[in-house]
Structure 1
């Protein structure tokens, strides 16, 4: 088929799949609305790849398959024989064979990570012989298990000759796109075709030629969408253009227009179309047996289905949707029953039988129970939900359905379906039998839609009451109670730790999953109490990992503890591994990203924090972290950059939300951000109030790790500046004591910094104290804590300036300015500059006025680049560009881009 007015898109595709193959992974994403032509472009790329001796692996996703397990991988490896993969390691190959339904799963289905490793090994093996093109159509409907495996692969491909060619509808980037290196991915938005393009499409595809005024109306009505233009053209082909004096003969909605086309099809073709819509994996042989060869040929001739070897697909998803809307319920039931007789896989068979069965059927419900459990074991959580929901629906009134309610609840919990989980169990919990069923329901409900910590506590106290003297159930309830006390409310850590220890002891009577849950809770309480947790991590790892719910895994706690201690390199590896391993669990992945964001907030990696927060804000899993975690991270970022007003806005919002929900963790962190912003703004009473509240709460409630909520050193500084030396000494002594008992690197350096500042306040500055502060700054730098390092340098410079050590002060403060500028902390850099001016240094009109990054952003803005284009050029986020422009405007005393060029020229003219 000829593609018109697509020279740019075709050129990019040809370079990708038909050019000289290079080393390293590459990708091209074609984004566009339904019917816009992206699939036709993609098909041309597939054809070119085959023509140029690429090994093309193809997967066409559909909305009907999003819940199926590894449907995309099954498509991709459809033409790959097993003997081609003999060199894949045995355990991995068996896992892949199970995922592809070429082998029975046995008693222990393979883990998703092993399957992903097998896919990686397979692509590496195949690429040794030919360059590989992984062609994915409608990737937004790629099933989650396949997408997670491919994302795992994409992050690990290096020099292999593998190319991804993908199409998707407009929306946020998929996990697979995010996994690929940004500089290796090209993105093209496929827009509507031109008026000339519409003319050529109608002429070449339909032989239809229209008067110019009517052609323009068609183009405007369809917005250049080729599919819609063709559908409208088919309607116009039956009319005399001279009679079209009014509106065009089309329904108001394109869906209705497609429905007219479907209604005009012969009945056998319509039934064939409906069958494919209900089961996209039907093959040519099955369809010929099901509907007859004439119906299949008629569908191809009518242009509603296409055939590629044994694969058959609907020409466009909207046509399939139209076929389903037009079918009667009785027709749908009949077709589902007939499809169930054709498909081979048990989970598909029972799903179609369920869709064909309106009345209760216990025998079918039992088959659905088994299929749901298998789907869950394979990682197909969405499919498991569908199967389990049908099992519950088909349960006869005289059959007890408690186990099915809880099974469906568990699948909803695993998928992060909070509202559905609450709707299901909230209405049924009291109808469940006392004991274990109610304990399970109450604990699962804590992961549903809750108003705050009080509601969680009430649910968990009910679970504890239901547990009675049963050791297993009591241990489970205690583990959840202790976790809520320690991690949500951050109170009564000694009691929470005792409860967690009892839960671990009692969990020996429970399942492996219950043992892992208890160990993870104890890891939290022990870490917050300042104790090592490596032994708990090893104990957890000694248990079988099958079915582990990663949101409750001690690895994330261990990683955070290393962050608190300033051991960032170890923390980064642990938390990165945790995030990458948790992609199949939406809420666990969200927590992994949160912890990496917190790590970069400690390190001063503001641009990386900004990038992660932007991704977080755009992603659907943001709702999985229902507390104000995002808002308080924004507040801490603004405080780190030195944007006082932004810090107060975000952190104030987070604290208000935390007070409403009773989530003390976010209250403490947002208060710390407010205190840090107040310290920068020289609002010492506010700084002491906020930082003191954090310190007092953690001391009172038994949070012994001083780095968990690291307010101590800032509070010492604020108290000294407020001339409360005794109060500062009490805080610093406690900090030093805990640093010594815990061998805590970050706290040790913070206490040493505080001791030096206290000595300066009491007896004045001397060179020995200066050396102490310089050593603290260097120690922070060795740990990778660049922001703490810059703060220590600023404190040293301020002490030198107050002691009238003018030369040393200027040298130190110039270094502080440079470090803050490099970090992207202009508010703190300005504070250092103010100290520098007080030391006698003269600020020139240009030097230090704009940072290097601010000047680069300003220059690009003057060149006419949009904020998005500037962000792309500098490889930063749009928010970062906006932040630097706001600072630039403030420094230059201007309000808009219109004034920017002249203001920059004015500063340049004043340079010596």
Structure 2
């Protein structure tokens, strides 16, 4: 690590340094720390961190990286900088990650890269605590930000301290998951004050200016580093159009500009050329490149002179000497002070020397004196090529430049809208949202409505999405590319589906399939062929699920009959509809096949498909595992689904994933976590106006209330679903999908409301019998047994309980069988038939013990005690004292997986795995994996 010079800026900042030192001590004691140092540019954030690093001493393990404005489009540029400090052997995907920076290279999945970072810090922290510094994180490329966020969220007991230096924790470029992490109460926040956006807008208003868009105010604040005098001068001296021209370099105040020019005039020819060349390259540049562009004959002398004039600074990035401007306005004064001909010439020279085609094109675009159709076409073609490899950020940057150079307004508008689409696909949702106002100012078109609808759907504004996408569809004509119509129908199908409207989803899915809406949205342009951007479609999934919601199960099954039983899931024919087939099998009680389909769908979509379907598949896989009595896996996959949904800002899936992880947590007695997930599910469902998810959220809450013994609370949660006016209730009443009626019927019985229970249960019984679904018939029969027992009809109750067990025997091992045995055994015990009661209760007790279902195990133990049977204390007999994460780690360890393999499987660090296993050994009183295998009963 290089020496860090510390200047006078640190006078009076000893308190902040002491905070950082205290957090490092906690990290050294296996308490991972996240520190945010934020404030306007130039206030001293970087200097503060450098001072902290100087105090670390020799032997410290420091990984450093810095974002760069001109490299935001380069995937994994920041992660590659971090890896430059690593001397250990790297493994894929980190090995060769710098190849992602090359044009046309495949871009690895951020989750895979984040997993690799976890593995890396797990191997590195044994020698010393790892200090990760990411300066100018707001300029980090999007894939790096997602990968780093993924890793940070999974540090548990690691000796890692991460310091993120950025200008604003609410910066639109930051992933929402990272913003949430930075806002967490456990994150140390070191703020260096400067004017905030509110203050800048307030100042602008006070000066008589029109309100600035948020992104424009953000640019102004970054440009002035929050300095009130500079900000006030700029707002007074320049019209609002200067600040809202997104592609322009903001000027410096006239007095500041004159100061810079005076200093520049005092420099010799070599220093002047070096400064001017650096200004063309950006805020910073490799020294050798600036020297070549400026044709500087004595570079070191020129650099020394520029530094003495305080116009440039020397920095080191890895082994490459770098020059940088001390302030954004210094660069602005230099750059805007260039004669137009010289500026164009320097940009052309930079383009000729650039190794990266994206950088070359960017400089050529800056060199262009005005609209240039040929250059615009080159930029657009490059954008299409980058999009074809999944490099959406690069594609967005190139196409935005192409739009500026387009020679006709219609082409310019189409490319601007496609830029928004690329930003959405890149995960830069906030950036895309910042462009919404400009998009709405364009003339209405199919493309405009489509992009605005896609944005609304991604951000969870479902009604707005429906309106915009419907308008897009209605505006399609004979000249509309078929792919455009197909994707519009696809988005509309999903809108209807998540709002519980199965019939509407079917209608739109069929429209999309009839038009064969696979491939990319091919945006019409000036006859130039652009490679199609291919991605998998979810039209077949929407069709099958919509048919199931509408009660047309046979048609739903037929709609996915094209899928092969096994094999690779890389082609549309092998993948599209696979998640839906897993859901159909789940709902019909074919649990083993459902788990297989959903597991394959999650894995395949993660690699070659759609992130949203990865998350949805994982959530329903957790549901299938819960029903199957495989709760360790259910909790693992459910929490993974929640984490991925939050990390990738998939707002429309959050209600679903929180709802489906709730039941196994509640059944195990982890009511705090279960209640939190249920509450979040309801909150997101209300926010989205999502009818289907509102029902799932109600069921999740009811599960928690039932385990708590609050049956009135369960009734209050579920009773609204009885409303005959409840929208799209066909899917709501379809057995297997939501499953609210048996929960409500049982709660009504427990509270003595037998008449109402007698009206709630029959529709569920009847439909389950018609469909001949063994699992739903078993649930219905158990609830009928409870109702008849409460009514005093012992014969009918016994017949119902026996029917429930007979139905379970038709299927495969499941959670319902244990519940039915508990209910039947309780009935028999209260009827004075202790012998038969004990047989049922002991079988149930064993199942509850294996699953770690504490609340149910306690009830069963009480019933057995009333029969005169004392069972071994379950905390001595099994592993229910372990947390869900400890159980998951322990089970994987018993399968022979190494700690590193377990870490990769669960996407955690090796240190966290070691911590969990240490807890497992201590709780079970064992010392080895051999003993562990003998103490745990693997799940069937």
What TM-score range do you get, normalising by the shorter chain?
A: 0.5 to 0.7
Correspondence for 2:829 among 781, 787, 801: 801
Offset of 1:522 from its aligned partner?
1.8
Selected match of 1:187 from 160, 169, 173: 160
* Pairing 1:252-651 to 2, within 5 Å after superposition: 268=271, 271=275, 274=278, 278=282, 282=286, 284=288, 287=291, 290=294, 291=296, 292-294=298-300, 298=304, 304-306=313-315, 311-313=320-322, 324=331, 329-330=336-337, 334=343, 339-354=350-365, 362-395=373-406, 400-418=411-429, 421=432, 424=435, 428=439, 431-432=442-443, 436-437=446-447, 440-441=450-451, 443-447=453-457, 449=459, 451-453=461-463, 455-467=464-476, 472=482, 477-485=488-496, 487-491=497-501, 493-494=502-503, 496-507=505-516, 516-528=537-549, 529-530=552-553, 531-532=556-557, 534-535=560-561, 537=563, 554-564=577-587, 565=589, 566-567=591-592, 569-571=595-597, 573-578=599-604, 580-581=606-607, 591=616, 594-595=619-620, 604-605=631-632, 608=636, 611-612=639-640, 615=643, 619=646, 621-622=648-649, 624-625=651-652, 628-629=655-656, 632=659, 639-640=666-667, 651=678
Q: Which runs of 5+ in 1 are unaligned?
A: 16-27, 50-56, 128-133, 152-172, 193-221, 226-250, 858-870, 885-912
- Aligned-pair CA distance for 1:481: 3.4
Kept after mapping to 1: 8 A contact 2:351/2:360: yes
| RMSD value, Cα | 6.6
Aligned partners of 1:559 and 1:570 also within 8 Å? yes
2:813 corresponds to:
782
CA contact (8 A) 1:58 1:76 kept: yes
- What is the deviation of 1:407? 1.5
2:746 is equivalent to residue 717 of structure 1: yes
Classify 1:75/1:299 alpha carbon distance in 2 versus 1 (closer, same or farther; 3 Å): farther
Change (3 A) 1:325 1:78: same
> C-alpha displacement at 1:187, in angstroms?
1.9
Relative to structure 1, is the Cα distance of residues 376 and 422 closer, same or farther in structure 2, using a 3 angstrom cutoff? same
Alignment of 1:71-86 (within 5 A): 71=77
1:174 aligns with 2:202: no
Per the TM alignment, residue 175 of structure 1 is displaced from its structure 2 partner at its CA by 3.1
Match of 1:666 among 693, 703, 712: 693
1:374 is displaced (CA, Å) by 2.7
3-state SS in 1 of match to 2:321 = strand
2:134 to 130, 135, 138: 138
Change (3 A) 1:318 1:410: same
- 1:667 is displaced (CA, Å) by 0.9
1:340 is displaced (CA, Å) by: 3.2
Determine which structure has greater relative contact order: mean sequence separation of CA pairs < 8 Å that are 6+ residues apart, divided by chain length: 2
Deviation at 1:538, TM superposition (A): 5.8
Picking from 719, 735, 738, the partner of 1:706 is: 735
The 1:29–1:514 alpha-carbon spacing in structure 2 relative to 1, beyond 3 Å, is closer
Q: Is the 8 A contact 2:376 2:405 kept in 1?
A: yes
**For residues 682 and 745 of structure 1, do their structure 2 counterparts lie closer, same or farther at Cα, with a shift above 3 Å needed?**
same
> Helix, strand or coil: the match of 2:516?
helix
Q: Give the deviation of 1:504 after TM superposition.
A: 1.4
Task: Kindly state the Cα deviation for residue 510 of structure 1 after the two structures are TM-superposed.
Answer: 8.6
1:274 is displaced (CA, Å) by 4.8
State the secondary structure of the residue aligned to 2:457: coil
CA deviation vs aligned residue, 1:834-861 (integer Å, no higher than 9, x gap): 656766779999999999639999xxxx
How far is the alpha carbon of 1:807 from its aligned partner?
5.8
d(CA) in 2 for partners of 1:816, 1:661: 40
| 2:72 aligned residue | 66
Task: Give SS of 1:853's match.
Answer: coil
Shift of 1:664: 0.7
How far off its partner does 1:673 sit? Answer: 2.4
| Structure 2 CA distance for partners of 1:494 and 1:301, relative to 1, 3 Å | closer
Aligned partner of 2:765 in structure 1 is: 733
Instruction: Deviation per CA, 1:9-44: give whole Å up to 9, x if none.
Output: 99999x9xxxxxxxxxxxx99978545358789998
CA deviation profile, 1:468-505 (whole Å, cap 9, x unmatched): 688947665544433322x22213x3454244334312
Task: Find the aligned partners of 1:753 and 1:332 in 2 and give their Cα distance.
Answer: 85
Per the alignment, in what secondary structure is the counterpart of residue 354 of structure 2? coil
1:851/1:69 CA distance change after superposition, 3 Å: closer
The Cα of 1:371 is off from its aligned counterpart by 3.0
In structure 1, the partner of 2:881 is 853
CA distance in 1, matches of 2:656, 2:511: 30
Q: How far is 1:668 from its partner?
A: 0.9
Q: Kindly tell me: are residues 672 and 398 of structure 1, through their superposed partners in 2, closer, same or farther at Cα, counting changes over 3 Å? A: closer
Q: CA 1:713–1:446 in structure 2 vs 1: closer, same or farther (change >3 Å)?
A: same
Asked whether the equivalents of residues 61 and 72 of structure 1 are also in contact (C-alpha less than 8 Å), the reply is: yes
CA deviation map 1:410-442 (0-9, x unaligned):
2133134456545646664685465x5456346
Corresponding residue for 1:750? 779
Is contact 2:848-2:854 (8 Å) kept? Answer: yes
Structure 2 residues not aligned, in runs of 5+: 6-17, 38-45, 124-129, 166-188, 193-223, 230-251, 521-531, 886-910, 924-940
- Which secondary structure does the structure 2 equivalent of 1:447 belong to? helix
Relative to structure 1, is the Cα distance of residues 40 and 301 closer, same or farther in structure 2, using a 3 angstrom cutoff? farther
Aligned residues of 1:519 and 1:536 also touching (Cα < 8 A): no
Instruction: Give how far 1:670 is off.
Output: 1.4
* Separation (CA, whole Å) in 1 of partners of 2:468 and 2:884: 55
Deviation string for 1:228-269 (max 9, x for gaps)?
xxxxxxxxxxxxxxxxxxxxxxx999999xx99x99999639
Distance, in Å, in 2 between the alignment partners of 1:692 and 1:809 is: 33
Residues 1:64 and 1:428: Cα distance change in structure 2 (over 3 Å): closer
Q: In structure 1, what is the Cα distance between the partners aligned to 2:336 and 2:566?
A: 51
**Which whole-Å CA distance do the structure 2 matches of 1:11 and 1:639 have between them?**
37
Do the aligned partners of 2:849 and 2:874 also contact (CA within 8 Å) in 1?
Answer: no
CA shift for structure 1 position 294: 1.6
Q: Deviations over 1:685-726 (max 9, x none)?
A: 664575465587699425686222133543453465543575
Equivalent position SS for 1:410: helix
Aligned residues: 724
- The C-alpha deviation readout for 1:767-796, integer Å capped at 9, x for no partner, is 88766656777888835x5xx455334323
Counterpart Cα distance in 2 of 1:562 and 1:299 = 74
